C-alpha cells in the first residue's frame, strides 16, 4: 500500500510519518509543498528519509501559490471575520491539488494529513480531495482513537520525537504550533489557548518571525508605491515584478514596519472558537492598497455588490470550498469587477499602520470638477437636481410615517372607546 503524506517536518507530521508507516505497513511518500516556508524546508529531505519515508517531494509551488491562489483571493478583498487574511486557508487547496497529482503518479491508494480532528485543515484537505479525486482514501490519524491515546498531548509527541531522534522546533518551553507560507505565519495552541495572554508582550518577542513589533519599528515612515493592472499588483516602487517577488518584497517592507499583526479568536468551521496569532505583513499591504485602488476605479454598485459577497467568499475559502462551483462562480464575477482596477497607490508605512498618501489612475472615476464644493466648470452636476432626487427617495419614508400615524390614531380611538 502506498500513502502520500502531507509533510512539513514539524512536530505533528514527523510523528505521523513514522506512525503511519508502522500501523499500515505502508510505503509512505512524503510531500512538502514549498509555499514560502523559507528556512523551514532546509534539512527536510534527510529528516524525512530518516523518519521512514520511501520518497519525498519538496516542490516549489510559490509562484503558483501567489498567482493562482493569493492574487485571486486579494481581488475578492477576502478577509475572514474582519481580521484574518486567510493565509493558512488559501494554501491548503494548492497542497491538496499537488498531493493528488503525486498520488496518481505513484498509484497510491490514500493520502494522509496531520490535521487535528478539532481543526479546519482536515476539512480543507478532504473537501479538496473530494472535488479532485473522490476515489482516494483519506487517512486522518487525529481521528483515530488509537493514535489519540498514544499521543494525548504535545509532551508525548515531543518525547516520541526524542526517542526516534527526530529534531523538531518544539519544546515544553515553546508549546505552540506554527504554520508559515508566503502569505503569513500563524501561531496557535499551547500558551496561546489562554485568550488573556498578551502575545504582544516583550517576553514573547522572539516568537515572531516576519515582523518587528510596532513599538520597535523605525521612527521614520517609509513611502512606497504599488501599481495595479486589472486588480492585480504588478509592480512595487516602480519596479515590475512577478506575483512571488511582489509578495516577498511587501513582506520585507511590511515586516520592517510592524505591519499585519493580528491576534484574534475566530469561529472554526467545526463549531468551536479558537485563538490564532498571525503575521501577514505583505498581505496586509496588498489588501489595503488594492482597496484604495478600487476606491477611484470601481463603479459604486459593482463595488457594493462585490462587498456584499466578501463574507461569503471568505467563508468559502476558510471552510475549504475552494474547488466548489459556488466559489468558482463568485470568482468569475470578481474577475469581471476588476477589469477597471488599474493605477498607482502611494502609502506611508509607519509603526503598524498603512496610511493612504496618494492615488492616481488613467481610468479613474473620480472627477475633481464634479466633486468640488466650488463652481463646477463642466456643469456635469446641477445641484438643483438634488431636490427631486431627495424628494423621490424620501417619498416612501413619508408614506410609511403617515401610515404609522394613522394606525396609532385608530388604535388610540379604539382604546378610548373600550374605556367608555
Rg of the chain over all Cα atoms, to the nearest angstrom: 27
Rounded average pLDDT over 332-346: 98
Q: Please tell me which residue in 18, 62, 121, 327 is annotated as part of the active site.
A: 121
Q: Please tell me which residue in 177, 186, 211, 337 is annotated as part of the active site.
A: 177
DSSP 8-state class, residue 66: I
Mean of per-residue pLDDT scores for the chain: 94
Rounded average pLDDT over 264-282: 97
- pLDDT at residue 377 tops 90: no
Q: Minimum mean pLDDT among 138-147, 373-382, 411-420: which range?
A: 411-420
- Nearest CA to 189 out of 272, 248, 113 is that of 272
What does the alpha-carbon distance between residue 145 and residue 150 come to, in Å, rounded to a whole number? 9
Q: Give residues with Cβ within 8 angstroms of 368, minimum separation 6.
A: none
State the pLDDT confidence band at 79, using cuts at 50, 70 and 90: very high
Is-catalytic flag, 364?
no
Is-catalytic flag, 179?
no
- Nearest CA to 350 out of 230, 256, 245, 226 is that of 256
Grid coordinates given for 293: 485602488
Grid coordinates given for 350: 509607519
H-only helix segments in 28-144: 44-51, 62-65, 71-75, 87-106, 121-132
Residue 407 has a CB neighbour count (10 Å cut-off) of 10
- pLDDT at residue 38 tops 90: no
Q: Minimum mean pLDDT among 27-31, 45-49, 233-237: which range?
A: 45-49
State the pLDDT confidence band at 171, using cuts at 50, 70 and 90: low
Rounded average pLDDT over 41-51: 86
C-alpha torsion sign, points 317, 319, 323, 325: negative
What does the alpha-carbon distance between residue 344 and residue 163 come to, in Å, rounded to a whole number? 56
What does the alpha-carbon distance between residue 176 and residue 191 come to, in Å, rounded to a whole number? 7
DSSP 8-state class, residue 201: S
pLDDT value of residue 86? 98
- pLDDT at residue 380 tops 90: no
pLDDT value of residue 416? 76
What does the alpha-carbon distance between residue 133 and residue 126 come to, in Å, rounded to a whole number? 10
- pLDDT at residue 108 tops 70: yes
State the pLDDT confidence band at 175, using cuts at 50, 70 and 90: low
H-only helix segments in 320-377: 325-337, 368-371
246 and 253 Cβ atoms separated by less than 8 Å: no
Q: Please tell me which residue in 18, 62, 89, 92 is annotated as part of the active site.
A: 92
- pLDDT at residue 167 tops 80: no
Is-catalytic flag, 59?
no
Rounded average pLDDT over 391-405: 97
Rounded average pLDDT over 373-383: 85
Task: Specify the CATH architecture of the domain 191-370.
Answer: Alpha-Beta Complex (3.90)
Grid coordinates given for 229: 493592472
Question: Regarding beta strands 27-34 and 55-60, do their DSSP bridges make them parallel or antiparallel, or are they unpaired?
Answer: parallel
Rounded average pLDDT over 236-255: 98
Asked if the domains at 2-175 and 191-370 fall in one CATH topology, the answer is no
Residue 163, beta-bridge partner list: none
Is-catalytic flag, 124?
no
125 and 91 Cβ atoms separated by less than 8 Å: no
Q: Minimum mean pLDDT among 16-25, 42-51, 321-330: which range?
A: 42-51
- pLDDT at residue 170 tops 70: no
- pLDDT at residue 169 tops 70: no
For the chain, the structural domain boundaries read 2-175, 191-370, 371-420
- pLDDT at residue 376 tops 90: no
C-alpha of 255 from chain center = 17
pLDDT value of residue 112? 97
Task: Look at domain 2-175 and name its CATH class.
Answer: alpha beta
What does the alpha-carbon distance between residue 212 and residue 39 come to, in Å, rounded to a whole number? 18
Q: Please tell me which residue in 8, 12, 227, 361 is annotated as part of the active site.
A: 12
C-alpha torsion sign, points 168, 173, 175, 176: negative
- pLDDT at residue 155 tops 70: yes
pLDDT value of residue 417? 75
Question: Regarding beta strands 353-360 and 261-267, do their DSSP bridges make them parallel or antiparallel, or are they unpaired?
Answer: unpaired
pLDDT value of residue 174? 61
Amino acid at each position: 500500500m502506498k500513502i502520500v503524506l502531507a509533510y512539513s517536518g514539524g512536530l505533528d507530521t514527523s510523528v505521523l510519518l513514522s506512525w503511519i508507516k508502522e500501523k499500515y505497513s505502508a510505503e509512505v511518500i512524503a510531500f512538502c509543498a514549498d509555499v514560502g516556508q523559507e528556512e523551514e524546508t532546509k534539512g527536510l529531505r534527510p529528516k524525512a528519509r530518516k523518519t521512514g519515508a520511501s520518497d519525498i517531494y519538496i516542490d516549489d509551488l510559490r509562484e503558483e501559490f501567489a498567482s493562482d491562489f493569493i492574487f485571486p483571493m486579494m481581488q475578492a478583498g477576502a478577509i475572514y471575520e474582519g481580521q484574518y487574511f486567510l493565509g493558512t486557508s488559501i494554501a491548503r487547496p494548492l497542497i491538496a491539488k499537488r498531493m493528488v497529482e503525486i498520488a496518481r503518479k505513484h498509484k497510491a491508494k490514500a493520502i494522509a494529513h496531520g490535521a487535528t480532528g478539532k481543526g479546519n485543515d482536515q476539512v480543507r484537505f478532504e473537501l479538496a480531495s473530494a472535488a479532485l479525486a473522490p476515489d482516494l482514501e483519506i487517512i486522518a490519524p487525529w481521528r483515530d482513537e488509537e493514535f489519540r491515546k498514544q499521543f494525548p498531548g504535545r509532551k508525548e509527541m515531543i518525547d516520541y520525537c526524542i526517542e526516534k531522534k527526530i529534531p523538531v522546533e518544539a519544546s515544553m518551553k515553546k508549546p505552540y504550533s506554527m504554520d508559515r507560507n508566503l502569505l503569513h505565519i500563524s501561531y496557535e495552541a499551547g500558551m496561546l489557548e489562554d485568550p488573556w495572554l498578551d502575545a504582544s508582550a516583550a517576553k514573547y518577542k522572539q516568537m515572531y518571525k516576519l515582523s518587528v513589533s510596532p513599538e520597535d519599528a523605525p521612527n521614520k515612515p517609509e513611502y512606497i508605491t504599488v501599481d495595479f493592472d486589472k486588480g492585480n499588483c504588478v509592480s512595487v516602487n516602480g519596479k515590475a515584478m512577478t506575483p512571488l517577488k511582489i509578495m516577498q518584497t511587501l513582506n520585507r517592507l511590511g515586516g520592517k514596519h510592524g505591519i499585519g499583526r493580528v491576534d484574534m479568536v475566530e469561529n472554526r468551521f467545526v463549531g468551536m472558537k479558537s485563538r490564532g496569532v498571525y503575521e501577514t505583513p505583505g498581505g496586509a499591504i496588498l489588501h489595503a492598497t488594492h482597496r484604495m485602488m478600487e476606491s477611484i476605479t470601481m463603479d459604486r454598485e459593482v463595488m457594493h455588490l462585490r462587498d456584499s459577497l466578501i463574507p461569503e467568499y471568505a467563508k468559502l475559502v476558510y471552510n475549504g470550498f475552494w474547488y466548489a462551483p459556488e466559489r468558482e462562480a463568485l470568482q468569475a464575477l470578481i474577475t469581471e469587477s476588476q477589469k477597471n482596477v488599474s493605477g498607482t497607490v502611494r502609502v506611508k508605512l509607519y509603526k503598524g499602520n498603512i496610511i493612504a498618501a496618494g492615488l492616481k489612475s488613467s481610468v479613474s472615476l473620480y472627477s475633481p470638477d464634479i466633486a468640488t464644493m466650488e463652481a463646477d466648470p463642466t456643469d456635469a452636476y446641477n445641484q438643483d437636481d438634488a431636490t427631486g432626487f431627495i424628494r423621490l427617495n424620501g417619498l416612501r419614508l413619508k408614506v410609511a410615517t403617515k401610515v404609522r400615524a394613522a394606525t396609532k390614531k385608530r388604535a388610540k380611538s379604539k382604546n378610548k372607546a373600550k374605556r367608555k
